Homo-oligomer: A and B are copies of this chain.
Amino acid sequence: MDTFPIYCGGEFIETDEILEVTNPYTGKSFARTFNAGSAELEKAIKSAESVRVTLQDLPSFSKYDILMELANGLASDKQHFAEILSLESGKPIRYAIGEIDRSIQCFRVAAEESRRLPRESMSLDWTPAGKGKEGWVKYFPVGIVAGISPFNFPMNLAVHKIAPAIAAGCPIILKPSSSTPLSVLLLSRLIDKTALPKGAVSILPMNRQIGNQLVTDERISLLSFTGSPVVGWNMKKNAGHKKVVLELGGNAGVIISSSANIEDAVNKCVYGSFAYSGQVCIHTQRIYIHKDVFHSFINQFAAKTNALVKGDPLNSSTDISVMIDEANARRVELWVQEAIEEGASLICGGKRDGGYYEPTVITGTNIGMKVCCEEIFGPVVVVEQIDNFQQGIERVNEGCFGLQAGVFTDSLQEMNDAFNNLEVGGVIINDVPTFRVDHMPYGGIRESGLGREGIRYAILDMMEPRILVKNS
C-alpha cells in the first residue's frame, strides 16, 4: 500500500495520525497518508510567514517559470495523476483525465496572469485639491492564504487556490478533503522541485478540529473555501479580520425554450445531470421545459439516461459509477423517496445498490421538496413543464441559491430576459449550468457563495491595492 507523506513547510513528513484512503468503488483502502496536527499546522504557518516577503518580491519571470513547470509536470505524468484521482474519488477515468487537463490549463493561465497583476493609474487633478498629482495603484499580496478544497474535484479545485496564490505571491496552506487527499499530495512533489521557496505551499490533510484554525487564526489573511453552504457560512462568522471567499453549491436550473435545439439540449443535460454522479457544485438539478417541446425532450432524455454505462471508474467506457460513499447514496435515496411520497413521480432510475445510485429523473415536484430546494449532490434531476419562458425564470429563481443557470433558446429577447432576471452568478446560453472553463469568473450569489474564482479573479482576491500619490 502506497504511503503519501504530507507537505508541510517545504518538507515531506509523516505524523502519528494515519489517514487511510478508500477506493469508493471497491470499498477498500488502497493508500495512506496523514493528518496534520497542531504542531504541523504551526510549522506550516511559521514557514509561510518566513517566506512572505520573498514571495512578494519574486519577479514575474520566476513565477511564470514555476507555474509553467507545474503545468508541464502534470502534462508529462497525466495518466498517473488521473488514476490516483479516479481511485480516491470514484470519478470515471475519462473525467479524471479531463480534470488533470483543466489543472494544467489553470497553471498556464496563472503563469500568464502573474505577468499581468492588476495595476491602475489615474489623474488626481479633478479638483484644484489634486493639482499636479497623479495616482499609481499596485496590488500587493494579501498575506497568508488558507485554502480548503472538497472531494469532488480533488485536484482542480485545489489548483484553483494554489495556482493563483503563487501568481499573487501569497504563501498558501491547503487542506484537501479527507476523502481525496492523494492527487494534490502527488502534485506537492512537483511543487517541491520548483524554485518556489520552501514553505510557500503546504498541503495538509487535517481533521475538522485542527482545520478550524485555518478559519480563526489571525495570522492568515484570506480564507478561500470550496464546499457545502452550511459549513461555509459558518466559517464567515468565525473568520475574524480575514477576508473570506466562499464557493458553495446550489440547485442549478435549466430552461428549455420552444426555440431550443432539442437534441443538443438533451445531450448536454444528460451530461450536466449525471457526470460524476451529480457530485458537482453546478450539477444540473432542475430542468424546466416549455410545454411545446416537453414530451419530445423527456422521451429523448430518458432514453439517453438509460443508455449511460455503469461500471468501474478506471474503465474508460464508464459513464457513471459509485458515489463518494454509501452514506451519500443513502441520503439521495431518502430525498427521492420523500419527494415521491409528497407526490412526485419517477421517470427513470430511483434505485440504490450500495454506494451506487441510479441516474434518476423525477417530475411533479415543488420547491418545498429537498430534491428541489436543497443541493442534492447526486445523480438526480427534476424535469418540469412550463407554460412560457417567463415562468421558467421564476421557477429557476425559486429557493435560496444562485450559482449558475442554463438556458436553451434561439431568441434574443429570451436571452436578455434570462440574463437580466436570473439571480445567479452565471447564465449559460445553449448549455447546461454545469459549464465552466477555468479562466471565467465563477461563483454564486445568495446562499451559493461570496466572491469569484477563475484564475484572474482569485488572484484579485488575494491582493490588496496600494496607491502611490505623486507629483505628475
Residues on A lying within 8 angstroms of B by beta carbon are 59-61, 64, 101-102, 105, 109, 112, 115-117, 119-133, 135-138, 233, 236-237, 240-241, 243, 409-413, 415-416, 419-420, 424-431, 435, 437, 439-442, 445, 447, 450, 452, 464-472
Contacts and interface: CB of A to CB of B under 8 A. Distances in A.
Chain A at the B interface: mostly helix, strand, loop or mixed? mixed
A446 to B, nearest CB: 8
A110 B376 CA distance: 43
B412 A125 contact: no
A48 B436 CA distance: 35
Nearest to A415: B412
Contacts of A138: 419
A431 B472 CA distance: 13
A109 B243 CA distance: 28
B61 A126 contact: yes
Contact of A465 (B122, B132, B437, B452): B452
A177 to B, nearest CB: 24
Given A241-B450, A409-B412, A416-B471, 5 more contacts: A124-B437, A133-B435, A412-B471, A415-B468, A428-B469
A466 B424 contact: yes
A127 B436 CA distance: 11
B427 A127 contact: no
A61 B127 contact: yes
A125 B58 CA distance: 10
A244 B77 CA distance: 44
A472 B136 CA distance: 12
Contact of A127 (B105, B420, B431, B472): B105
Nearest to A464: B445
A94 to B, nearest CB: 13
A470 B430 contact: yes
Contacts of A425: 464-467
A410 to B, nearest CB: 5
A322 to B, nearest CB: 25
A426 B61 contact: no
Contacts of A468: 415, 419, 426-427, 429
